[in-house]
Structure 1
Amino acid sequence: MGEFDLIERFFTRPAQAGYTAAVAVGIGDDCAILQPSPGMQLAISSDMLVAGRHFFTDTDPARLGHKALAVNLSDLAACGAEPLGFTLALALETIEARWLQAFSGGMLALAGQHHCPLVGGDTTKGPMTINITVFGQLPQGQALLRSGARPGDDLYVSGTIGEARAGLALLRGEWTLADAALRQHLCQRLEAPTPRLALGQRLRGIASAAMDLSDGLRGDLGHILKASGVGAHIDGVAVLATSPALWQALAAWPAQRQIAFALAGGDDYELLFTAAPAERAAIAAIGAALAVPVQRIGRIVAGHGITVVDGDGQPVPLDLPSFDHFG
């Protein structure tokens, strides 16, 4: 099977199924042509996944296809954008039809859920690498950025924090869990994250700053604080409250270790955002309407740096680094 046969068989859909009005030209030409709606700006993001670095080589290919697109859609969610389409550059050591069928199926199923068609890309022979660029749109001047947090703002996270890192620990054999259902859930949180696109779009005009969580809450929060010129105070107990089942399973751990682990773990792909206290009711209503848990975990303060306290008000040492590709 050659390169163009691979594209035709696994990544091209009949009549360019799933294309929206925004896609003027899709797969088949040298460039895709996208047309944002009037009054909208483009939002563009790229992410690369490398075998052995970002995923295990024996990862279920359907889940891998899902995650490869999900981590890019999560970036669109963080700025409040709606998807228009994406490109895929894929390097493979060999062509395995069964693997490609599952991989493309997982990826394109998620694409269909969010009306984000595959509009182009490239394939080549080499160490397995997945590179996706995603395109979105949002109303002029309404992007959620990292630079808008102000002292007095509340600090929020969506979903659960620490579960993906716990799933990684299970797959690495760092510990075991007797609860098979919880184990499956934690591994799914690692391998098949849920991009919070609807939440990000609803937060436009409400959140003062936002980003998605990929490398760990502590490290990612640092990007918002640096861009906004502020500091943060975090309630560690509120962070743990996002996943009571996980921390009940690890109840033998001291509370400070649980908090530090949750803050340093990566691959959450949840939204971290700030908002004025006056927006609390609106944020609660949005979370309820979307059936997405949203937890207030602290506040933005004047100054610099991050302070974390446990349930007794004692400082939590932050000696676990967030993920760094070159660290």
Structure 2
Amino acid sequence: MSLGEFELIERYFSRPVSRAALGVGDDCALLAPRPGMQLAVSSDLLVEGRHFLSTVAPDRLGHKALAVNLSDLAACGAEPLAFTLSLSLPRADPEWLEGFAAGLFALADAHGCELVGGDTTRGPLVLNLTVFGEVPAGQALLRSGARAGDDLYVSGTLGDARLALEVFRGTLTVPSGDFERVRTAMERPTPRVALGQALRGIATGAVDLSDGLVGDLGHVLRRSGVGATLWADALPRSAALRALPLRWQHLCTLAGGDDYELLFSAPAAQRAAVQDAAARCGVGVTRIGQIDAEPGLRCVDAEGQALDLQVRAFDHFHSS
């Protein structure tokens, strides 16, 4: 028996809500942020073949679809509240839907983020999520807050998602155990939600790394009206990535994309506070450079020598 649209929604995506005032079932959801809080909103579109491979397991796709949105809330220092899901499907496959919903709701429950609405239709596999969070008024982390003299940090490690993609493409090979680890980094990223909240009042500016370090740092530099010096050899990377030639390490860490780590700036006087916040959240952070008054981005090696690296950020209308 085939599933209809409304049966599909009722079976896989209708759940009671407790934080939202009204969830799935009406023309609009109703959200009521707590007094003194601002609403943080972000939306992401994921298209099969562009943002994810057709071979990805449905539970992993459900996880990633929400994770990339939660990562935006993390970069703002916001606490997740609710989300909507619009889903285009070639067909209503119960087994696929079961797995997708399981992965989606496992991450949603871990962050207290409720599904409150959306839409479904028949078509190519496309996912669109809009996530809502709340942050104390005036305390949101912004791309425009970096100041000359600030330290530059990144959470976690960089480049594994790009490494996995290159293995799928047949460009690189890695041992099977390493491949499973880097594939997990690509398909099940960890949004740094707790760290983003812990950095409120400490970090001066922040962005999540979705399109590559060079490109996403460029957004911060332009919005803040500053430049930066990046220590390429200090970028945190996995053992699997370190085993590759240096040019591949640079490509994956600087322009890889899909890392969903936090890149943030903070005054030098806050170094101990940054490390304490990271330790409380169980996340490693690495100082990878500094913010400069001089515009532009300069990449240097461990000896301070400038590197001429021809890398660029992912762009949907320029990338193949």
TM tier, shorter chain? over 0.9
Cα distance, 1:318 vs structure 2:
2.6
Identity among equivalent positions (%) equals: 58
Cα distance, 1:163 vs structure 2:
1.0
TM-score normalised according to structure 2 size:
0.96
Which of 206, 209, 215 is the matching residue for 1:213?
A: 209
SS at match of 1:130: strand
Aligned partner of 1:2 in structure 2 is 4
Matched, 1:50 2:63: no
SS at match of 1:25: coil
Q: How does 1:252-263 map to 2 (within 5 A)?
A: 253=245, 255-263=246-254
SS at match of 1:84: strand
Q: How does 1:88-127 map to 2 (within 5 A)?
A: 88-127=85-124
What is the distance in 1 between the residues matched to 2:310 and 2:23? 48
Matched, 1:315 2:306: yes
Matched, 1:276 2:261: no
What is the distance in 1 between the residues matched to 2:248 and 2:119? 44
1:297–1:224 distance in 2 versus 1, CA, 3 Å: same
- Whichever residue aligns with residue 272 of structure 2, its letter is A
Cα distance, 1:181 vs structure 2:
2.1
Bigger mean CA deviation after superposition, 218-227 or 164-173: 164-173
Which of 218, 232, 235 is the matching residue for 1:222?
A: 218
Aligned partner of 1:80 in structure 2 is 77
Which of 154, 179, 190 is the matching residue for 1:194?
A: 190
What is the distance in 2 between the residues matched to 1:29 and 1:312? 61
- Whichever residue aligns with residue 20 of structure 1, its letter is S
What is the distance in 2 between the residues matched to 1:326 and 1:30? 34
8 A contact 1:61–1:106 mirrored in 2: yes
Cα distance, 1:258 vs structure 2:
2.1
Which of 183, 189, 193 is the matching residue for 2:179?
A: 183
- Whichever residue aligns with residue 12 of structure 1, its letter is S
- Whichever residue aligns with residue 243 of structure 1, its letter is R
Task: Encode CA deviations 1:241-270: one digit per residue, 9 max, x unaligned.
Answer: x124133321xx1x3552243101100000
What is the distance in 2 between the residues matched to 1:284 and 1:100? 41
Displaced runs of 4 or more, over 3 A: none
Aligned partner of 2:31 in structure 1 is 34
SS at match of 1:46: strand
- Whichever residue aligns with residue 246 of structure 1, its letter is A
8 A contact 1:256–1:316 mirrored in 2: no
Cα distance, 1:47 vs structure 2:
0.1
8 A contact 1:260–1:316 mirrored in 2: no
Which of 252, 256, 264 is the matching residue for 2:255?
A: 264
Cα distance, 1:168 vs structure 2:
1.1
Cα distance, 1:289 vs structure 2:
1.6
8 A contact 1:92–1:124 mirrored in 2: yes
Aligned partner of 1:20 in structure 2 is 18
Which of 249, 257, 265 is the matching residue for 2:243?
A: 249
Cα distance, 1:20 vs structure 2:
3.1
1:53–1:247 distance in 2 versus 1, CA, 3 Å: closer
Cα distance, 1:167 vs structure 2:
1.3
Q: How does 1:299-314 map to 2 (within 5 A)?
A: 299-314=290-305
